[in-house]
């Protein structure tokens, strides 16, 4: 479980087949084999790291490459990095699983970031609700017919990839897991009306 508060801006060191290597330092301070690190909001497992603790490697499944923007990454690309939250930590963002729901497309870049998302996510996006874009916890300003807008403050633009994104760029989107659980729990108690 993560919070969507990015700890470090790393960069892609190499990508060969299913192996992805990321240059970084902060997220490796207490690294161990099998640890989770969110890369642009996608939870990946550490399988190796450099002896100077300046890079780590993850094996990425075909499913992850196909359903996230991790498959778009090239050497040198910046990436948002976050370690899992500990029970003793403050929850500065919101509960984030690191399980990407869909790939969205940037319509308008920050500071008034507008992201277009697939229709099946619209029901989870509400005004002042939480959403994660490339692993960054954000508050929805305006749910739109085809996506949503969020306000990206200058600090967030400076310390994450969101300040570098332009129209047409693809991003990982994770909606609020609480909304998905609420829907699942209520589904058995609600009857569908004739109008749907």
Assess contact for 131 and 97: CB atoms under 8 A.
no
How many structural domains does the chain have? 2
Domain of residue 166: give its range. Answer: 102-185
The predicted model scores a pTM of 0.90
**What pLDDT band is residue 195 in, cutting at 50, 70 and 90?**
low
Note whether 67 and 110 are same-domain residues.
Answer: no
Note whether 108 and 176 are same-domain residues.
Answer: yes
pLDDT digits (tens, 9 = 90+) for 91-139: 788 888 899 999 999 999 999 999 999 999 999 999 999 999 999 999 9
Note whether 110 and 173 are same-domain residues.
Answer: yes
What is the reported pLDDT for 184? 78
Establish if 141 belongs to a structural domain: yes
Establish if 195 belongs to a structural domain: no
Domain CATH for 143: 2.40.30.20
């Amino acid at each position: 479980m993560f919070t969507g508060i990015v700890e470090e801006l790393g960069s892609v060191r190499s990508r060969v087949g299913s192996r992805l290597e990321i240059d970084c330092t902060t997220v490796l301070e207490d690294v161990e084999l099998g640890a989770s690190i969110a890369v642009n909001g996608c939870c990946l497992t550490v399988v190796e790291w450099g002896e100077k603790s300046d890079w780590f490697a993850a094996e990425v499944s075909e499913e992850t490459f196909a359903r996230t923007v991790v498959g778009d990454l090239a050497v040198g690309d910046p990436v948002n990095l976050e370690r899992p939250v500990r029970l003793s930590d403050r929850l500065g963002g919101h509960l984030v699983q690191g399980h990407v729901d869909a790939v969205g497309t940037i319509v308008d870049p920050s500071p008034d970031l507008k992201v277009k998302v697939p229709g099946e996510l619209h029901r989870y996006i509400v005004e002042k609700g939480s959403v994660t874009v490339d692993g960054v916890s954000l508050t929805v300003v305006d749910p739109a017919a085809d996506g949503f807008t969020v306000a990206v403050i200058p600090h967030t633009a400076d310390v994450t990839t969101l300040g570098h994104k332009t129209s047409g760029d693809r991003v990982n989107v994770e909606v609020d897991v609480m909304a998905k659980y609420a829907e699942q729990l209520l589904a058995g108690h609600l009857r569908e009306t004739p109008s749907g």
